[in-house]
Chains A and B, each alone.
Chain A
Amino acid sequence: MTTIERSDTPHEVVDPAFAEAPKLAATPSSRFTAAAANYIDERTSISAVVKEFGRKIFPDHWSFMLGEVALYSFVVIILTGTFLTFFFQASMAPVIYSGPFVPLKGVEMSSAMDSALKISFEIRGGLLIRQIHHWAALLFIASIGMHMLRIFFTGAFRKPRELNWTIGFLLFILALAEGFTGYSLPDDLLSGNGLRIIDGMVKGIPFVGTWISYLIFGGEFPGQQIVGRLYTLHILLLPAIIVAMIALHLVFVVVHKHTQYAGPGKSNENVIGYPVLPVYAAKAGGFFFIVFGVIALIASFFQINPIWNYGPYDPSPVSAGTQPDWYIGFADGALRLIPPGLESVIWGHTYSWNILIPIVVLGLFISIVALYPLVEGWVTGDKREHHILDRPRNAPTRTAIGAAGVTFYAALWAAASSDLIATHFQLSIEAVIHTIQATAILGPIIAYFIAKRVCLALQKKDREIALHGFESGRIVRLPGGEYIEVHQQVDDYERWRLVTFNEYKPLMIRPNAKGKITQTQRLRARMSRWFFEDRIAPVTKTELERQSHDHH
Chain B
Amino acid sequence: MARKPAKANRRHPLATVVLIAIGLAFTGGGYALFTSTATAQTDTASSTSQSSVDEGKKLFAANCATCHGMSLEGSTAGPALLGVGAASVDFQVGTGRMPLAMQGPQAMEKPPQFTEEQTQALADYVASLSPGPAIPTDDQLTANGNATNGGELFRINCAMCHNVAGAGGALTEGKFAPSLTGVDSKYIYEAMLTGPQNMPVFNDHNITPEDKRDIITYLKYIQNNDSTGGYDLGNLGPVAEGLFIWIFGIGAVVALTVWLTAKSN
Contacts and interface: CB of A to CB of B under 8 A. Distances in A.
Interface string B246-265: 10111011101110110000
Given A290-B256, A321-B163, A417 B239 contact: yes
A102 B152 CA distance: 12
Interface stretch (B8-16, B125-133, B221-229): B221-229
A61 interface: yes
A294 B253 contact: yes
A531 interface: no
A309 to B, nearest CB: 5
Contact of A310 (B160, B164, B228): B164
A423 B242 contact: no
B172 A329 contact: no
Given A69-B253, A308-B228, A317 B150 contact: no
A420 B244 CA distance: 15
Contact of A142 (B105, B152, B249): B249
Interface residues of B, number: 60
A143 interface: yes
Contact of A302 (B147, B177, B244, B253): B244
B239 A430 contact: no
A-side interface mostly: helix
Given A317-B155, A321-B236, A324-B238, A311 B164 contact: yes
A103 B160 contact: no
Q: With a 10 A CB-CB cut-off, give which of B151, B168, B238 has the most chain A CB atoms.
A: B238
Contacts of A14: none
A105 interface: yes
B155 A62 contact: no
A45 interface: no
Nearest to B164: A319
Contacts of A429: 170-174
Interface in B208-233: 218, 221-222, 225, 227-233
A368 interface: no
B230 A301 contact: yes
Please classify the interface of chain B as helix (H, G, I), strand (E, B), loop, or mixed, using the class held by over half of its residues.
helix
Contacts of A104: 148, 151
B248 A329 contact: no
Interface stretch (A131-139, A204-212, A380-388, A515-523): A131-139
A226 B227 CA distance: 29
A300 B228 CA distance: 11
Given A305-B241, A309-B164, A422-B176, A65 B227 contact: no
A146 B163 CA distance: 32
A102 B156 CA distance: 18
B70 to A, nearest CB: 34
B147 to A, nearest CB: 4
Nearest to B240: A420
A429 B160 CA distance: 15
A485 interface: no
A104 B149 CA distance: 9
Interface in B49-101: none
B257 A107 contact: no
Contact of A317 (B159, B176, B225, B241): B159
Range class of the A interface residue count: 35 or more
Interface in A33-79: 60-66, 69
B237 interface: yes
A326 interface: yes
Given A298-B249, A320-B163, A430-B172, A62 B254 contact: yes
B207 interface: no
Interface in B170-191: 170-177
Nearest to A63: B257
Contacts of A291: 253
B163 to A, nearest CB: 4
B155 A428 contact: no
Interface string A315-350: 011111111111101000000000000000000000
B250 A146 contact: yes
Contacts of A304: 229, 241
A424 interface: yes
A320 B162 contact: yes
A283 B163 CA distance: 45
B235 interface: yes
Contact of B228 (A290, A306, A431): A306
A326 B246 CA distance: 10
B154 to A, nearest CB: 9
A179 to B, nearest CB: 11
A189 interface: yes
B241 A326 contact: yes
Contact of B248 (A121, A298, A309): A298
B165 interface: yes
A61 B168 CA distance: 45
A102 B147 contact: yes
Interface string B1-25: 1000000000000000000000000
Contacts of B221: 102-103
Given A65-B260, A306-B227, A320 B249 contact: no
B253 A107 contact: no
A182 B236 CA distance: 20
Contacts of B175: 428
Nearest to B243: A326
Given A61-B261, A303-B228, A320 B253 contact: no
B192 interface: no
A323 B239 contact: yes
A423 B168 contact: yes
B145 to A, nearest CB: 11
Given A320-B159, A320-B162, A428-B105, 13 more contacts: A62-B258, A65-B257, A66-B257, A105-B148, A120-B228, A142-B245, A142-B250, A290-B260, A301-B230, A321-B237, A323-B238, A325-B242, A329-B242
11 contacts: A63-B257, A66-B257, A103-B151, A105-B147, A120-B229, A131-B229, A139-B245, A303-B232, A314-B155, A317-B160, A320-B177
